[in-house]
Amino acid sequence: MFSHLAILQVVVPLMGAPACFMLGKARLTWLMSLLISVVTCAISIGLLLQVYQQGPISYALGGWQAPWGIEYRIDIINAYMLLIVSAMGALVLLAAKDTALTDIDEHRRPLFYVAYLLCLAGLLGIAATGDAFNVFVFLEISSLSMYCLIALNKDRRALWAAFRYLIVGTIGATFILIGIGYLYMMTGTLNMQDLAQRLPAIADNNAVISAYAFIMVGVGLKLALFPLHYWLPNAYTHAPNLVTAFLAATATKVAVYLVIRFNFFVFSPSWADFIQLGNHVLLILGSVAVLWASWIAIRQTDIKRLLAYSSVAQIGYMVMGIGMSSLLSLQASLLHLFNHALMKGGLFLVLATIALRLGSVDTSQLRGLAQRMPLTFWAFVIGGLSLIGMPATAGFISKWYLVQAAIEQQSWLLVAVVLAGSALAAIYVWKVVEVFWFTDKNTASNTRHLSQPQVPVTMSIAMWLLIIANVYFGIDTRLPVTLSEMGAQLLSGAS
Amino acid sequence: MEYSLALQILILLPVLLVPAIVLTKNSPNMREAVSLAGGVVLLCLAIFCYQSLASEQPTQVTWLEILPGLSLSFLIEPYGVLFALVASFLWIVTTLYAIGYMRGHNESNQTRFYACFAIAITGVMGVAMAENLFTLFLFYELLTLSTYPLVTHAGNDKAKTGGRIYLSILLGTSILLLLPAIIITWSLTGTLSFQQGGILSQLDSPVLTSVLLVLFVFGIGKAALMPVHRWLPAAMVAPTPVSALLHAVAVVKAGVFSLLKVCGFIFGGDLLASLDVTQWLLYLAGVTIIISSLIAMRQDNLKARLAYSTVSQLSYITLGALLATSLSLTGGAMHIAMHAFGKITLFFCAGAIYVACHKTQVSELRGLGKQMPVTMVAFFIGSLSIIGLPPAGGTWSKWYLVMSTIDASQWFLLVALMLSSLLNIVYLLSIPVQAFMPVKNNPVQGIKEAPLFSLGAIVVTSLGCIWLFVQPQWLLDLIQQ
């Protein structure tokens, strides 16, 4: 049983999806999928413990040994990613009780859970596999189900947003496929570890360089890396609220993981000059993303869209960490993966709660929210403070490491970028807080009558777990710091 | 009781009062009793910590290690005890005052007011007792955030604008300047603990240390050195008890206190004296003293006038911190207490006048002395303390500061201090003097003194000013330990 954990991690949600489809009833499907996601989460904890104690796990799929068969390889970074994705998946699903899905037609709600589990399986698969082609397969599984999830929203604009994401995502996936194809052509292998051993010998080959470029652009599209991010704000804004929470907390994180995996493991700065160039490009794009997207976020009036642009900016931080490519900066990047999942997961759940009660997340409708929903308001403030990077929140920790990494390289400009991003975040978070805080006599009384169904208890629990986690992991940082440190050491050992 | 336990309760007590305050929101008497009782216990704890200084072992508590080598820890040391004593004593007085003011004025959201106030006091205690820069930074930010609801208490557009300026300057400076300064210090030295003689002293790069000093001095926006002083006048939209305790004592003193700690225990006097940039910053402090006094003269709004006066007085302490000789540090630290008592008295008087007769402009106060004699006498005493004349406590701190400028041959600063005293006389003392002038056609009728609670608070703080003049010795002993 325990030796099969690596494959169970993916198979459980993958098989769970059709099982849920058979059930048909929304409430039943929810319970079933919740059970599955909790089991998945438990498996990821088990895997993490195993890896932490015994080192990397290699699992040969179907008994076919690597590099010929498909290998599932779980090292500390994989385990860390699996934990983030499965935990966030379970928490968002906890919130996604069928009565909370008011923005999805009733007869489509069971489908939500099916697509959700498929998407979860895909994302977990990417994080678990050690095979480059398998990455592509799981990427497609997760992407296709993600398009469905977005399109489930009653709002017709969701269709258009999903379609745009579909086009962009497909181009990205195709690029990745081309890149992997080139690599296979040059080396005759698809196993990532095997690739890492064979590639240095042909480092100067143009096909290898093009493969790298294709993969980076493809992953950059999935990652919503500036300037390839245009699909993201629309997708986040028009997706059903809980889908946005799931998307923000997991999908882009997995894409960041792919960048790290390809930049420091399959390829490596130690033997390929073009990686260094690539890292420079990433550094520049990440910095621009931080500043530019934060700036755009300030001007948004729809809070979902505001947070979506904020996500683009926060992705910029992670990419900056990758671009600086030092031990400390990689650790900062990995830390921010974790912390940002907590912040954005938490904040989008807060928004989902607000939307459920008031039916809107446009700033003009939410004046005086602090009086009507004080607890939810405080949840937003705490999540927002974490986003800004106030001390004693998770956001502070990742910012601390990132600034330290920049100081270590004496690049004061990057220090300024990180801090400016933080200051801009303070502006856009506070813009929302201000709207909530001050009452406007006209709208305050009107919207009260619009108050819609009661918020399910599970949703409040999930929201508060995430919000409290933001504070908890800002104070007791042992788990993420230890894991990210081990991860960063592994990566720089490989490079 | 163990000293270390007292130290932890000192920091946690105010924030633990918040649930009690919220739970008793339906019975205002209970709610305010909770605040008052909390204040008294807090003062007792502060006094207890004061006694611990006599023992051999310094009392230190480490809560947890947030990052390797970076811990949340607290230490009882003289400056911190001084600050904690002043703040906890004045918290009681301010709560008394606030009871009269908030009820007399029928303010809404009073529960929120008392709750946020308590959180802010936790921020102050944390800053006072912080063992390292990181802990200090954490509570510094807590103080900024918890005072935002107090500043914007009125909830109107003016409050919104004021709150925006308040938050953007305080958060902006702390994120953009103070935080990098802290992280750079950490990368360079590997520690953030306050140590005698400073932790940057072995550093061999004057350029880097100069940059760091500038980052710290402006990053601690609460010290209100020009040009980052704008938040203080903006914060005057707050109810008067808030202006009194937070913007004459807690928040601004947290700023200059942080500056004292940074200059004394991160840089150290020798290093500061060797840097060219220190001289420029000293000039800037001198300029701030004079210019803000001049601005204060032109303010007709009483609270605005007091706010600019505070900006000017804060630079006294900044000056003391930057000179970083033992004389100037003593003067600066003493001025924390002296100015606190003097300025809180003045703010209390301003609030009492507002509650009693809804006057906010200085020009309207002529002849008010007859109706409100106690308030105006208190205003007189408070002004004396700010100016630095006997028989008020401000005399001593000014004495030490002036001595230190002579000692360091800083003639410009000496002139600035002297000039500022003259300007203080003009813009502060003129108010009570005019109030007691006989007015020919007396239009003000039926004005009485402010509610009894408020009046009591005013009397206590103005007597405090005089007491500090008569009994400054314990303060000196405390600081020079």
When scoring B179, B182, B205, B214 by the number of chain A Cβ atoms within 10 A, the one with the most, hence best to mutate, is B179
| pLDDT at B444 (0 to 100) | 59
| pLDDT at A341 (0 to 100) | 93
Mean pLDDT within B330-348: 90
Q: Are B171 and A423 inside 8 Å of each other by CB? A: yes
- Does the pLDDT value for residue B386 go beyond 70? yes
Closest CA to A13 of A47, A57, A43: A43
| pLDDT at A350 (0 to 100) | 92
| pLDDT at A333 (0 to 100) | 93
| pLDDT at A494 (0 to 100) | 54
Q: Are A438 and B160 inside 8 Å of each other by CB? A: yes
Q: Is B65 exposed, middle or buried (0-12, 13-18, 19+ CB in 10 A)?
A: middle
Domain ranges of chain B: 3-479
How many domains does chain A fold into? Answer: 1
| pLDDT at A419 (0 to 100) | 92
Residue written as token pair 């500090």: B468
Q: Which residues of chain A have pLDDT under 50?
A: 444-449, 495
Q: Are B345 and B243 in contact (CB under 8 A)?
A: no
Q: How far apart are CA A378 and CA A172, in angstroms?
A: 39
Q: Are A422 and B66 inside 8 Å of each other by CB? A: no
| pLDDT at A45 (0 to 100) | 92
Residue A423 corresponds to which tokens in the numbers above?
């200051």
CA distances from B186 to A421, B200, B259, B380 (A): 21, 10, 17, 47
Q: Are B180 and A434 inside 8 Å of each other by CB? A: no
Q: Which residue has the higher pLDDT, A493 or B170?
A: B170
* Residues on chain A touching B137 (C-beta within 8 angstroms): 391
**Percent of chain B's residues with pLDDT above 70:** 98
* Residues on chain B touching A408 (C-beta within 8 angstroms): 187
* Residues on chain A touching B187 (C-beta within 8 angstroms): 404, 407-408
Q: Are B343 and B311 in contact (CB under 8 A)?
A: no
Q: Say yes or no: B160 contacts chain A, CB-CB below 8 A.
A: yes
Q: Are B168 and A404 inside 8 Å of each other by CB? A: no
Q: Are B212 and B192 in contact (CB under 8 A)?
A: no
CA distances from A146 to A93, A152, B184, B270 (A): 15, 10, 43, 63
Nearest CA distance, B65 vs chain A (angstrom)? 8
Q: Is B125 exposed, middle or buried (0-12, 13-18, 19+ CB in 10 A)?
A: buried
CA distances from B367 to B30, B273, B426, B435, B443 (A): 39, 50, 18, 4, 9
CA distances from B381 to A369, B140, B340, B391 (A): 45, 31, 13, 8
pLDDT tens profile B299-313: 888 888 989 999 999
Q: Are A437 and B152 inside 8 Å of each other by CB? A: yes
Per-residue pLDDT band for B157 (boundaries 50, 70, 90) equals: confident
The whole-chain average pLDDT of chain B stands at 86
Nearest to A475 among B66, B155, B183 (CB): B66
Residue type at A150 in one-letter notation: I
- Does the pLDDT value for residue B232 go beyond 60? yes
| pLDDT at A1 (0 to 100) | 61
| Cα of B256 vs its chain's centroid, Å | 8
At A455 the three-state DSSP class reads coil
CA distances from B356 to A69, B150, B238, B362 (A): 87, 22, 18, 15
Cβ atoms within 10 Å, residue B106: 7
Q: Are B66 and A397 inside 8 Å of each other by CB? A: yes
Q: How far apart are CA B421 and CA B39, in angstroms?
A: 34
- Does the pLDDT value for residue B224 go beyond 80? yes
Closest CA to B419 of B294, B272, B262, B282: B294
Q: Given 3-state DSSP classes, what are the helix, strand and coil percentages for chain B, each rounded to the nearest 5?
A: 75, 5, 20
Total residue count of chain B as it appears in this document: 481
Q: Are B303 and B237 in contact (CB under 8 A)?
A: no
Q: Are A461 and A94 in contact (CB under 8 A)?
A: yes
| pLDDT at B1 (0 to 100) | 64
Residue type at A173 in one-letter notation: A
- The torsion angles phi and psi of B63, rounded to 5 degrees, stand at -80, -60
When scoring B25, B183, B186, B214 by the number of chain A Cβ atoms within 10 A, the one with the most, hence best to mutate, is B183
- Does the pLDDT value for residue B29 go beyond 90? no
Mean pLDDT within B69-80: 87
Mean pLDDT within B384-410: 88
For A371, nearest residue in chain B (alpha carbons): B109
| pLDDT at B235 (0 to 100) | 86
CA distances from B24 to A101, B31, B33 (A): 38, 5, 10
A313 — alpha (psi -120 to 50), left (phi > 0) or beta? Answer: alpha
pLDDT tens profile B181-222: 999 998 888 888 888 888 888 777 888 889 999 999 999 989
Residues of chain A in Cβ contact (below 8 Å) with chain B? 385, 388-392, 397, 400, 403-404, 407-408, 415, 419-420, 422-423, 426-427, 430, 434, 437-439, 474-477, 481
**Percent of chain B's residues with pLDDT above 90:** 19
Q: Are B71 and B130 in contact (CB under 8 A)?
A: no
CA distances from A223 to A53, A154, A475 (A): 32, 26, 29
Q: How far apart are CA B325 and CA B307, in angstroms?
A: 28
Expressed as residue numbers, the domain containing A181 is 2-494
For B176, nearest residue in chain A (alpha carbons): A419
DSSP annotation of B362 reads: G
| pLDDT at A320 (0 to 100) | 92
Give the H or E element holding residue B65: strand B60-67
pTM of this structure: 0.91
CA distances from B48 to A382, B43, B61, B128, B312 (A): 34, 8, 16, 15, 33
- A34 CB contacts (<8 Å, ≥6 apart)? A90, A93, A94
